[in-house]
Amino acid sequence: MERIDKASGENDTVELIEEAYFTNVEKVPDFKSIVILDLPNIKQSALNTIHSAKKNNADSKIIAIHIYTTKLLIEPLIRAGINGYMMYEPSVKEFREAIACVSTNELYLPSKFSI
């Protein structure tokens, strides 16, 4: 969370969603912000997690963090509705870039990916 705090601007509302939020899928909090899904730390499937977050946070921008490194695995996440994707353990710089990008309604992907 410290990296997210360092990367967020004064006007950004950024929430990190981990397993604690998904103990009851129907009770995902309602955020009007940028939501960062730490997918490896959530015990349900990545796609189910994204669908749950989108259902309860339709106005939020969603950035997914996962260990996936191939286009084949990332494309379904994009189709499920994420606004950005970062590989696991992103730097503060990557967080800043992703937050800035999705804040302007653009899709954020690591530089090695093009979809």
Residue 7 CA to chain centroid, in angstroms?
14
Q: Quick one: pLDDT band at residue 88, thresholds 50, 70, 90? A: confident
**Could you read off the pLDDT of 29-63 as tens digits, one per residue?**
444 578 888 888 788 888 888 888 888 777 788 99
Whether 61 contacts 83, CB under 8 Å: yes
At residue 63's C-alpha, the angle toward residues 90 and 59, to 5°, is 155
- What CATH number should be reported for the domain holding residue 41? 3.40.50.2300
- Residue 41 maps to a domain: yes
Q: Give Cβ neighbours of residue 61 (< 8 Å, ≥ 6 apart).
A: 33, 34, 35, 83, 84, 102, 103
Q: What is the pTM of this model?
A: 0.73
Residue 74 structural domain: 2-103
Query: Average model confidence (pLDDT) for the chain?
Result: 75
